[in-house]
Amino acid sequence: MSVGTVAAAVAISRGRRTRRGRRVAVSATLALLAFALNAFTLMIGDAWATPGEVLRVLAGETVPGVSFTVGELRLPRATLGLLAGFAFGAAGVTFQTMLRNPLASPDIIGISAGASAAAVFGIVVLSVSGLVLSAFALVGAILTTLVIALLAQKRGFSTMRLVLIGIGVAALLQSAISYLISKAGEWDLQTAMQWMTGSLNGASWEKILPLAGAVLVCAPLLLANGRGLDLLRLGDDAAIALGVRVGRVRILAVIAAVGLLAFATAGSGPIAFVAFMAGPIAARLVGPGSRLTVPAGLVGACLVLGADLIGQNLFDNRYPVGVVTGVLGAPYLVLLLIRMNRSGGSL
């Protein structure tokens, strides 16, 4: 083996270690930030709680004036925000990586709208809740994915065609959601309204447990297929040449990502732009060539928890978390479109 070959191998190995170390450091920092935002959610509100009081409540003690506020109201809200944000972020970056386009996020191409429409139909027409509602959202997301994929396959597959078709499908589904909400009864209206923008109001363990189960099942599935997903960025032909079973990886990734998205949507509604923003932000933080599932999930969790803290505490009126993420996400979409137009870049 020549000296040049050895030097190249050493440089490649050093580069891999550097990228791995940066990914671990960024992920650890994001995890600490998510933990801090979760703690602030438990402490901050109309009635503030000290860290000691929060810890006592979490330990099972009864603290007068604090136990109900922290244990029954804030803890479910913080947990739902953490899990939903992670699920949206991981699902979004999976689609963006797989389709090699940052616009191919499930909330942009209509998959979130499909889950929302099915859930609103279940609430308004059939009065379902809990696991049944999660099942409705899952079926809606799967059917929407299939419809978009079938329409995009005509005359050869194109990612941009898929994005445009998805935007059109999302508009149709949002119209259906608005119609269903206009027909909702007084008791169903407040529950159904969260499906317009997304909200952590009304968080409960009944909503959290199905989502937690989905994260425990689907996130490891995405991580197990992480290498294949990374190589799909190079295109199908290159991935096949490198030994990736493209069809198997794509099917498993879609199933896992749609599962995360559907159960998160069933719990919190379609929190705007989190799935879209988390992947590009994570890619900028960890650098090129790194696996993004965990960093994007943690960015999503931080976005949801941070936006909820802003919406609940920074203004005279309280705003749902989806309103805040929508305000943040709209200009980010414009900036991303400008950058893509200049460079043709991706994640």
With helix as H, strand as E and coil as C, how does 168-206 read?
HHHHHHHHHHHHHHHCCCHHHHHHHHHHHHCCCCCCCHH
Range of the domain at 234: 18-343
Contacts of 341 (CB under 8 A, 6+ apart): none
Query: What does pTM read for this prediction?
Result: 0.89
- The 10 Å CB-count burial string (b at 16+, else e) for 216-248 is eebbeebeebbebbbbbbeeeeebeeeebeeee
| DSSP code string of 64-94 | TTTHIIIIIIIHHHHHHHHHHHHHHHHHHHH
Name the stretches of the chain with pLDDT < 70: 1-17, 155-157, 186-188, 190-191, 289, 340-347
CA distance 117 to 226: 31
Given this model, what pLDDT does residue 307 score? 95
Q: Domain for residue 4, yes or no?
A: no
Q: Domain for residue 6, yes or no?
A: no
Residue 161's CATH number: 1.10.3470.10
CA distances from 169 to 120, 146, 220, 275, 293 (A): 16, 12, 30, 18, 26
CA distance 103 to 211: 25
Q: Domain for residue 2, yes or no?
A: no
Given a contact cutoff of 8 angstroms between Cβ atoms, the answer to whether 180 and 120 are in contact is yes
> Considering the chain, what is the average pLDDT of its residues?
85
CA distance 310 to 41: 10
Domain count, the chain: 1
Joined tokens for residue 74: 């804030």
Joined tokens for residue 12: 């490649």
CA distance 121 to 176: 9
Given this model, what pLDDT does residue 129 score? 79
Instruction: Summarize pLDDT for 263-309 with one digit per residue, the tens.
Output: 999 888 889 899 999 999 999 899 876 788 999 999 999 999 999 99
Given a contact cutoff of 8 angstroms between Cβ atoms, the answer to whether 250 and 276 are in contact is no
Given this model, what pLDDT does residue 256 score? 94
Given this model, what pLDDT does residue 274 score? 94
Burial (0-12, 13-18, 19+ Cβ within 10 Å), 57:
buried
Given this model, what pLDDT does residue 338 score? 76
Given this model, what pLDDT does residue 135 score? 87
CA distance 346 to 40: 34
Q: Domain for residue 10, yes or no?
A: no
Q: Domain for residue 9, yes or no?
A: no
Q: Domain for residue 273, yes or no?
A: yes
Given this model, what pLDDT does residue 248 score? 86
CA distance 250 to 149: 12
Joined tokens for residue 126: 């059939």
CA distance 226 to 292: 9
Q: Domain for residue 282, yes or no?
A: yes
Q: Domain for residue 138, yes or no?
A: yes
